[in-house]
């Protein structure tokens, strides 16, 4: 069982059921001319409180898997279950954050942007939604900017608004697709750090897509390695021993090299391994 259990983990009887079960999932796109297989029979399980990373080369189907968990794409084969229930459509229990923060409607203030999904899904009344929005804006350090408009914010600040907006919905699982890829290197590092601090505080469950081995080791406590297109599971790696402070260490570099070999070199054993 994972060491990082959510505070609100269910009682003993259900405590050992994974939150997310992806079983033998093959995903396809059908275009007028052909069928593109994005993933082939991928299986993994995410426990409550995991920071679970999908890592693999460009085109291996990471984003497609995330979209399937979000409910935007139905599997060709296999099944996806959240809390034991099959995922058939999008829902407020799975909120996605993508790298295009300019999805924030520019005519709404930061506060209104965070309140918007809460009101649109009728989760809360206006006063409760405002309270909830300010609570999460405070958590990402943006309470002072509640009345600012998105175009006045830096890339990192827009990323924080997007994260606050997602967390304010209190989803069962937060889905992030390369959320920091468009940011400069320093801001990206700071955002990784802030995400970890936020996780320490809130203990949300995270499914995070990246093609950066370093980012995967820093952000994740478990990493699923996918083969090149179409994505198949190569291995699962435990990476809970690393954070930003260990990224220069010999152990970290060793784990990164091992993951690189597992991803790109034939002949490496694709069994479950421990990077830390």
Give the interface with ligand ATP as residue ranges (CB under 6 A).
Answer: 29, 31, 36, 38, 56, 58-64, 211, 229
Question: Least distance (Å) from ligand ATP to the CB of residue 182?
Answer: 12
Closer residue to ligand ATP (CB): 70 or 157:
70
Question: Least distance (Å) from ligand ATP to the CB of residue 24?
Answer: 18
Closer residue to ligand ATP (CB): 123 or 212:
212
Question: Least distance (Å) from ligand ATP to the CB of residue 37?
Answer: 8
Closer residue to ligand ATP (CB): 7 or 31:
31
Other CB atoms within 10 Å distance of the CB of residue 90: 13
Closer residue to ligand ATP (CB): 198 or 209:
209
Question: Least distance (Å) from ligand ATP to the CB of residue 56?
Answer: 6
Question: Least distance (Å) from ligand ATP to the CB of residue 9?
Answer: 30
| CA 121 to chain CA mean position, Å | 22
Closer residue to ligand ATP (CB): 63 or 187:
63
Question: Least distance (Å) from ligand ATP to the CB of residue 40?
Answer: 11
Closer residue to ligand ATP (CB): 212 or 253:
212
């Amino acid at each position: 069982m994972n060491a990082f259990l959510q505070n609100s983990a269910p009682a003993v009887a259900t405590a050992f059921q994974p939150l997310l079960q992806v079983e033998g999932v093959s995903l396809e796109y059908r275009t007028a001319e052909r069928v593109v297989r994005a993933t082939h029979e991928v299986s993994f399980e995410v426990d409550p409180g995991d920071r679970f990373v999908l890592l693999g080369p460009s085109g291996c189907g990471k984003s497609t898997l995330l979209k399937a968990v979000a409910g935007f794409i139905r599997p060709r084969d296999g099944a996806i279950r959240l809390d034991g229930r099959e995922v058939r459509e999008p829902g407020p229990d799975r909120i996605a954050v993508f790298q295009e923060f300019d999805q924030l409607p520019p005519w709404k203030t930061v506060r209104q942007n965070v309140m918007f999904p809460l009101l649109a899904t009728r989760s809360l009344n206006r006063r409760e939604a405002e309270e909830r929005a300010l609570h999460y804006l405070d958590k990402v350090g943006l309470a002072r900017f509640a009345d600012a408009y998105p175009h006045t914010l830096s890339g990192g600040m827009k990323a924080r608004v997007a994260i606050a907006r997602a967390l304010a919905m209190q989803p069962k699982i937060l889905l992030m697709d390369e959320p920091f890829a468009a940011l400069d290197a320093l801001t990206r590092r700071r955002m990784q750090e802030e995400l970890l601090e936020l996780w320490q505080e809130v203990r949300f469950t995270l499914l995070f897509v990246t093609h950066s081995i370093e980012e995967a080791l820093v952000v994740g406590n478990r990493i699923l390695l996918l083969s090149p297109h179409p994505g198949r599971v190569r291995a699962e790696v435990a990476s809970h021993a690393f954070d930003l402070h260990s990224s220069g260490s010999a152990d970290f570099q060793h784990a990164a090299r091992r993951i690189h070999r597992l991803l790109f070199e034939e002949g490496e054993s694709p069994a479950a391994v421990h990077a830390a």
